[in-house]
């Protein structure tokens, strides 16, 4: 008798509901929040649709659009060449497909962030989580649940900026270096507009998640949602960025497979 097919078992589990597909992607529209840099720097584009035809004289049987978007608008994938530290490394089209499907650890800091939107995850926080849940997954994702996806309806609430700049959670500079250089993961996933904390422009180095992760040939996933539906361990993330040749990143559909009892 042939060995049972692993793929057939997966399909059966998906059909039967013992494996749930959780969509971690924020819908992409003109109201999707975008990062705002100081005015002296270039700015990313808000997502826009341009109608080509809609069952009319321009095309009687079909509806379609052109779209305009920044690579880093909405839920998106950061490739290593996004940052100067990784400028000689892979563009988003060159990321190996096998690395787009990987296990994930979901760490929950919603309580801390509710008290302090500038909350920073330290190495000790991750090591304390590992003591309770086991090591971070080899070749997997470190996902930070902060509750920030609840703010995605509003550009103002999502960026949470005042005269001193944005106030959003993230990793400390030392923790970013540790995740990039010592942790076994391939990247970091967050619910905020970028992988760095809002105050990271003042860190040393500035924007350490970008600097350390990209320079270490690791990746970022941003503006994730529904992380509350993931267990601390055991889920598998499928990240599907557009393979833009020479691109520094791309909008992505990000899904998680979660085994249910």
- Which pLDDT band holds residue 261 (cuts at 50, 70, 90)? confident
- Which pLDDT band holds residue 1 (cuts at 50, 70, 90)? low
Positions of E strands within 58-164: 59-68, 76-78, 101-108, 120-121, 141-145, 161-162
Residues 239 and 23 sit within 8 Å (Cβ to Cβ): no
Q: Exactly one of 76, 82, 125, 210 is catalytic; name it.
A: 82
Q: Give me the architecture of the 22-45+71-259 domain, per CATH.
A: 3-Layer(bba) Sandwich (3.50)
The mean predicted confidence, pLDDT, of the chain is: 97
- Which pLDDT band holds residue 131 (cuts at 50, 70, 90)? very high
Residues 195 and 170 sit within 8 Å (Cβ to Cβ): yes
User: How do residues 119-129 score in pLDDT, each as one tens digit?
Assistant: 999 999 999 99
* Residue 94 zone, left/alpha/beta (φ > 0; ψ -120 to 50; rest): alpha
- Is pLDDT of 243 > 90? yes
Tokens of 39: 């005015």
pLDDT, mean of residues 208-220: 98
Domain boundaries, the chain: 22-45+71-259
User: How do residues 183-195 score in pLDDT, each as one tens digit?
Assistant: 999 999 999 999 9
User: How do residues 151-173 score in pLDDT, each as one tens digit?
Assistant: 999 999 999 999 999 999 999 99
pLDDT, mean of residues 133-161: 97
Distance CA 61, CA 58 (A): 9
Has 88 been annotated as catalytic? no
> What is residue 1's DSSP assignment?
-
Q: How would DSSP label each residue in 195-206?
A: SS-TTGGGSSSS
């Amino acid at each position: 008798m042939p060995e049972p097919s692993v793929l057939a078992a997966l399909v059966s589990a998906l059909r039967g509901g013992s494996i749930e597909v959780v969509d971690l992607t924020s819908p992409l529209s003109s109201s999707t929040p975008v990062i705002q840099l100081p005015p002296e720097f270039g700015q990313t584009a808000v997502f826009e649709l341009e109608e080509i035809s809609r069952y009319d004289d321009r095309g009687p049987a079909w509806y379609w659009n052109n779209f305009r978007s920044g690579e880093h608008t909405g839920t998106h994938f950061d490739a290593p060449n996004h940052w100067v530290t990784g400028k000689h490394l892979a563009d988003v089209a060159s990321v190996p497909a096998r690395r787009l499907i990987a296990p994930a650890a979901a760490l929950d800091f919603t309580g801390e962030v509710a008290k302090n939107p500038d909350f920073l995850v330290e190495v000790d926080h991750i090591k304390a989580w590992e003591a309770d849940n086991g090591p971070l997954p080899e070749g997997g994702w470190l996902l930070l649940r902060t509750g920030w996806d609840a703010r995605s309806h509003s550009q103002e609430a999502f960026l949470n900026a005042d005269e001193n700049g944005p106030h959003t959670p993230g990793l400390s500079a030392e923790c970013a270096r540790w995740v990039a250089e010592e942790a076994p993961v391939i990247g970091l996933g967050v619910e905020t507009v970028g992988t760095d904390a809002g105050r990271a422009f003042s860190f040393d180095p500035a924007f350490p998640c970008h600097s350390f992760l990209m320079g270490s040939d690791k990746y970022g996933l941003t503006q994730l949602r529904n992380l509350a539906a993931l267990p601390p361990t055991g889920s598998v993330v499928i990240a599907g960025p557009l393979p833009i040749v020479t691109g520094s990143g791309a909008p992505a559909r990000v899904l998680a497979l979660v085994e249910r009892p």
